């Protein structure tokens, strides 16, 4: 790939060929459409059905929401960046916001998986402790709901 100098800095940015750019764009659009559709369906099913309102469902819904935010904020900017081929065509505040949202949703996903794993570990390896935690969680939840 030939290198090109950017207008704002002395960083050399790689240029994508037209055919590769088109392939990447089609791939991003497919990922965006299937990701949005799948996550919206998951969230709507988990919210509507009362049998699905378990702790596991809450974790899955949290992952779906983080993924939905990542897809809807990150991929459109990536597509525009690929087609404009440097420098960043938007004001710098959008760059900072995109990075902040990407990092936040990535950490939310990682921490959700961590909490889910810890809960499953305690439930399988220490079932009596899990029962105590579950009853304590219900007491706290019911007292919060009374407020």
- The domain of 104 spans 3-146
What CATH number does residue 44 fall under? 1.20.1070.10
Give the per-residue pLDDT at 28.
Answer: 93
Distance between CA atoms of residues 110 and 105, nearest Å? 9
Tens of pLDDT along 7-51?
455 555 567 788 888 999 999 999 999 999 999 999 999 888 877
Distance between CA atoms of residues 36 and 39, nearest Å? 5
Domain count, the chain: 1
How many helices (H) and strands (E) would you count in the chain? 4, 2
**39-42: long-range pairs with CB below 8 Å, 24+:** 39/64, 39/65, 39/67, 39/68, 39/71, 40/68
Give the per-residue pLDDT at 112.
Answer: 94
| pTM as predicted | 0.73
Strands (E), the chain: 3-5, 12-14
């Amino acid at each position: 790939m030939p290198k090109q100098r950017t207008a704002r800095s002395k960083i050399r940015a790689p240029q994508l060929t037209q055919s590769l750019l088109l392939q990447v764009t089609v791939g991003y659009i497919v990922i965006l459409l299937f990701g949005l559709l799948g996550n919206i369906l998951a969230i709507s099913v988990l919210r509507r059905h009362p049998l699905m309102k378990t702790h596991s469902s809450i974790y899955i819904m949290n992952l779906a929401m983080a993924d939905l935010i990542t897809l809807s904020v990150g991929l459109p900017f990536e597509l525009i960046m690929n087609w404009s081929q440097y420098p960043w065509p938007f004001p710098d505040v959008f760059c900072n916001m995109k990075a902040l949202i990407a990092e936040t949703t990535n950490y939310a996903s990682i921490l959700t998986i961590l909490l889910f794993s810890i809960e499953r570990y305690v439930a399988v390896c220490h079932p009596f402790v899990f029962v105590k935690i579950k009853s304590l969680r219900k007491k706290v939840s019911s007292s919060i709901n009374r407020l």
